[in-house]
Amino acid sequence: MPLQYINEMLGLPELQLHSVLSQNATEVHLEASPVAYKQPCPICHSEQSVKRDGRNKSRKIRHVSIFGKKCFLHIPSLRLACARCNIGFVWSYTWVGPKEQYSRLFRSQTVNQALGSTAAHSARMQEAPASTVQRMHQEALPAENERLLEQAWRQAKDTPELVLGIDDFAIKKGHTYNTGIHDLRGETMLDLLAGRKLDALRAYAEQHPDFLNLNPKAVVMDLAQTYHTWISECFPKAIRIADRFHVHGYVIESVQAVRKSVQSTLSPRAKIILKSHHRLLNPPADSLPEKSRTQLNQLLAFSPLLREVWEWKEAFTHWYDYSPNLHVAQLGFTRWCQQGEAIKHEAVQSALKTMRNWEEEIVNYHHCRWTNATVEGRHNRIKAYQRRHYFTRNRRCYKAGILIECNRQRLLG
């Protein structure tokens, strides 16, 4: 192939290829030099008084692969001198940094592969040392994170009816947690703060005025009192919505508690059937296939109490899905609570107590139907990232890596 076409494949218009030094099954070595004869002086920015002053040892630069082979460019390290400023300097290439052995395009390609997987995987793909890829990844994180965060915050500030999502996820279950702040409408993660206690949340708001400058229409959270207190202090006009997933979890827990109490009174055969298919009680009946519905009817036939609490759970799902407006939702919620009061079981009464305590936040769902579903999906992505990177110890890199992991696909398409 002619050298001019290889030059186009490399994407380096400032270089001119001279020859192929060597090639084998895995590598190709190319000799190249700058197209221009001189460069401007870094002080006076003029070429008039600049002249060449010899060359140092040539540089060997790893570039992106061509023809399925590793590509190495051998370029001259030209010495230049400016008579006006009386200084000497070395030719500066825009596609590779000074004293670097890898081109910027190679580094960008390698980092992009590492961001979606691991440094070890990217190293195998590029046939480069894993430690080198890891270093490139760590160096690229701050700038990439800052760029994506700036775009995410600008998008959140420009959103006319901003909806925020607040939720925590575990670093170590039962011990250490992080709290994420999410733009639900823009599907981005705005920030990550350590801890989930009220003092930590208040300290974050004091240290980040950009957060207080947001003007959210609504904020979606679980039923943690800490979050509701914090949001009511930061955004008193925002609608506080109890996340449907977490609210529905309380009802499902009561159904399973009734199932366990009923299960202990059944015959051994019926007990085995109910225990092995207990998950059929959780989803809406409409979402089950025909075979699962038949099995569900078999389970409900074991106990009138189980059927009654299951119908109560189904009524709650129907209330969420089909309440046309806030007024109808308030009336429907009252009727649903009255339906639950007729069920004489401790678990149901406990769930009803929680529902009444959070009635306003639960009914607020019908102001604007937003949930933290995308946030929960993002938590799965974060957990996968933590497993891949073995819980990165450096807090700065850990935070930047998670924010990039959550925002990169959405903001970059």
What single string gives the DSSP state of each residue in 205-244? HHH-HHHHT--EEEEEE-S-HHHHHHHHHH-TTSEEEE-H
Other CB atoms within 10 A of residue 220 CB: 31
Looking at the domain assignment, is residue 341 inside a domain? yes
Q: Are residues 254 and 357 in the same domain?
A: yes
Alpha carbons 302 and 139: distance in angstroms, whole number: 62
DSSP notation for 79-109: EEEETTTTEEEE---TTS-TT-SB-HHHHHH
Residue type, position 76, single letter: P
* CB half-sphere exposure, 398, CA atoms < 13 A: 14
Q: Take residue 320 and report the two structure tokens written for it.
A: 């969420």
**Do 218 and 367 touch, CB atoms closer than 8 A?**
yes
Q: Both 345 and 377 in a single domain?
A: no
126 within some domain: no
Q: Per the structure block, which two tokens stand in for 45?
A: 């920015």
Q: Is the pLDDT of residue 11 over 90?
A: no
The pLDDT of residue 392: 62
Using DSSP, how many helices (H) and how many strands (E) does the chain show?
16, 10
Residue partners of 267: CB distance under 8 A and separation at least 6: none
- Same domain? 320 vs 348: yes
Nearest to 63 by CA among 128, 154, 5, 160: 128
Comparing 126-130, 221-225, 373-377, 394-398, which segment has the lowest mean pLDDT? 394-398
Read off the pLDDT band of 118 (50, 70, 90).
confident
Contacts of 2-8 spanning 24+ positions with Cβ under 8 A: 6/30, 6/66
Give the containing element (helix H, strand E) for 114.
helix 104-116
Q: Is residue 71 part of a domain?
A: yes
Q: Do residue 309 and residue 361 come from a single domain?
A: yes
Same domain, 249 and 239: no
The residue among 101, 119, 137 that closes a domain is 101
Mean model confidence pLDDT for the chain: 89
pLDDT in tens, 36-56: 888 999 898 888 889 988 888
How many other C-beta atoms are found inside a 10 Å radius of the C-beta of residue 91? Answer: 20
When pLDDT is cut at 50, 70 and 90, the band that residue 127 belongs to is: confident
Which of 154, 149, 136 lies closest to 190 in space, CA to CA? 149
d(CA 141, CA 399): 10
Whole-number pLDDT of residue 125: 82
Q: Indicate whether 92 and 230 sit together in one domain.
A: no
Report the number of distinct structural domains present in the chain: 3
0.95 surpassed by pTM: no
- The reply to whether 283 and 360 lie within a common domain is yes
Query: Which residues face 181 on adjacent strands?
Result: 166, 191
Tell me: the pLDDT tens digits for 334-363? Answer: 999 999 999 989 999 999 999 999 999 999
Report the pLDDT value the prediction gives residue 134, as an integer from 0 to 100: 81
Is the pLDDT at 116 greater than 70, yes or no?
no
Which residues make Cβ contacts (< 8 Å) with residue 11, sequence separation at least 6?
105
Separation between Cα atoms, residue 110 and residue 121, nearest integer Å: 10
Residue 71 CA to residue 30 CA, distance in Å, equals 8
Q: Which domain holds residue 178?
A: 161-243+371-412
Same domain, 312 and 283: yes
Give the torsion sign (CA, 396, 399, 405, 409): negative
Altogether, the residues listed in the chain come to a count of: 413
Does residue 265 share a domain with residue 362? yes
Residues 287 and 194 placed together within one structural domain of the fold:
no
Q: Bridge-partner residues for 82, per DSSP?
A: 50, 87
Say what the pLDDT of residue 337 is.
94
If asked whether residues 78 and 174 sit together in one domain, one would say no
